[in-house]
Amino acid sequence: MSAPNHTKSAALQNIGTSSSKTFGLTMAGSWRDRRFPARSPASFRFSPSSSLFYLILVLLAIFTVALFLSQRQISAVDRDPLPHTAHFQASEEQLWGSSLGYGYHPCVKPTSRYSVPQDLGRYITVRSNGGLNQMRTGISDMVAVARLMNATLVIPQLDKRSFWQDSSTFEDIFDEAYFIESLKGDVQVVRGLPKELESVPRARKHFTSWSGAGYYEEMARIFKDYKVIHVPKSDSRLANNDLPLDIQRLRCRTLYQALRFATPIETLGKKLVARLRSKGRYIALHLRYEKDMLSFTGCTYGLTNQEAEELKAMRENTNHWKLKDINSMEQRYGGLCPLTPKEVGIFLKALGYPKSTWIYLAAGEIYGGDTYIADLRSQFPNLVTKEMLVQKKELEKFTKHASQAAALDYIISVESDVFVPSYTGNMARAVEGHRRFLGHRKTINPDRKGLVELFDLIEKGEMEDGPQLSSLVSQMHKYRQGTPRKRYGSLPGSKGRARLRTEESFYENPLPECICLSKKH
Ligand SMILES: *[C@@H]1O[C@H](CO)[C@@H](O)[C@H](O)[C@H]1NC(C)=O
* Alpha-helical segments (H) within 153-244: 170-173, 176-182, 213-219
Please list the helix, strand and coil fractions of the chain in percent, rounded to the nearest 5, in that order.
50, 10, 45
User: What's the CA gap between 203 and 402, in Å, rounded?
Assistant: 31
What pLDDT score does 52 carry?
66
Q: How far is the CA of 50 from the centre of ligand 1 (A)?
A: 62
**Closest atom of ligand 1 to CA, residue 148:** 13
- Three state DSSP letters for 382-441: CEECHHHHCCHHHHHHHHCCHHHHHHHHHHHHHHCCEEEECCCCHHHHHHHHHHHHCCCC
Query: Cα(15)–Cα(249) distance, rounded to whole angstroms?
Result: 32
Domains along the sequence of the chain with CATH:
91-97+265-516 (3.40.50.11350), 123-260 (3.40.50.11340)
Q: Give residues with Cβ within 8 angstroms of 164, minimum separation 6.
A: 3, 5, 130, 131, 402, 403
pTM for the predicted model, two decimal places? 0.83
Rounded to whole angstroms, the Cα distance separating 132 from 314 reads 24
Residue 270 CA to ligand 1 centre (angstroms):
41
pLDDT at 97: 81
Residue ID of nearest Cα to ligand 1 atom 6: 150
CB-defined site of ligand 1, < 6 Å: 118, 149-150, 217, 220
Distance CA 515, CA 483 (A): 12
Ligand 1 atom closest to the CA of 150, numbered from 1: 1
Long-range contacts of 108-117 (CB under 8 A, 24+ apart): 108/249, 108/252, 108/253, 108/256, 108/257, 108/514, 109/249, 109/521, 110/185, 110/186, 110/246, 110/249, 110/250, 111/245, 111/246, 113/246, 114/246, 116/185, 117/147, 117/150, 117/186, 117/187, 117/188
Cβ 445 vs Cβ 32: under 8 Å: yes
What amino acid occupies position 436?
Answer: R
**Terminal Cα distance for the chain, rounded:** 35
Angle of helix 4-17 relative to helix 132-148, nearest 10 degrees, comes to 70
pLDDT at 8: 36
Query: What ligand 1 atom has the least distance to the C-alpha of 115?
Result: 4
What pLDDT sits at residue 85? 52
**Which pLDDT score, from 0 to 100, does residue 29 have?**
35
Helix (H, G, I), strand (E, B) or coil at 322: coil
Residue whose CB lies within 8 A of the most ligand 1 atoms, among 119, 145, 150, for a mutation test: 150
Atom of ligand 1 nearest to the CA of 216: 13
Q: Name the CA radius of gyration of the chain, rounded.
A: 24
* pLDDT string in tens for the chain (521-residue length): 343 443 333 333 333 333 333 333 333 333 443 333 333 333 334 444 556 666 667 666 766 655 554 444 433 333 444 444 556 788 888 899 865 678 899 999 999 999 988 899 999 999 999 889 999 999 999 999 999 999 999 999 998 766 566 788 999 999 999 999 999 999 999 999 999 999 999 999 999 999 999 999 999 999 999 999 999 999 878 999 999 999 999 999 999 999 999 999 999 999 999 999 999 999 999 999 999 999 999 999 999 999 999 999 999 999 999 999 999 999 999 999 999 999 999 999 999 999 999 999 998 889 998 999 999 999 999 999 998 998 888 888 887 888 999 999 999 999 999 999 999 999 999 999 999 999 999 999 999 999 999 999 999 999 988 999 999 999 999 999 999 999 999 998 888 888 898 999 999 999 999 999 976 55
Q: What pLDDT score does 6 carry?
A: 39
Residues 14, 144: Cα–Cα separation, whole Å: 25
Task: Find the 228 Cα to ligand 1 centroid distance in Å.
Answer: 17
Ligand 1 atom closest to Cα of residue 149: 13
pLDDT score, position 38: 36
The residue whose C-alpha atom lies closest to atom 1 belonging to ligand 1 is 150
β partners of residue 404 = none
Is the separation of the CB atoms in 429 and 317 below 8 Å?
no
Please tell me whether residue 123 adopts helix, strand or coil conformation: strand
Tell me the CA–centroid distance for residue 149 and ligand 1, in Å. 7
Residue nearest to atom 8 of ligand 1 (CA): 150
Atom from ligand 1 closest to the CA of residue 220: 13
Half-sphere exposure of 462 (CA within 13 A, CB side): 7
User: By alpha-carbon position, which residue is closest to atom 7 of ligand 1?
Assistant: 150
Q: In this predicted structure, what is the pLDDT of residue 228?
A: 98
Q: Which protein residue has the closest C-alpha to ligand 1 atom 10?
A: 150
Q: What is the predicted pLDDT for the residue at 26? A: 33
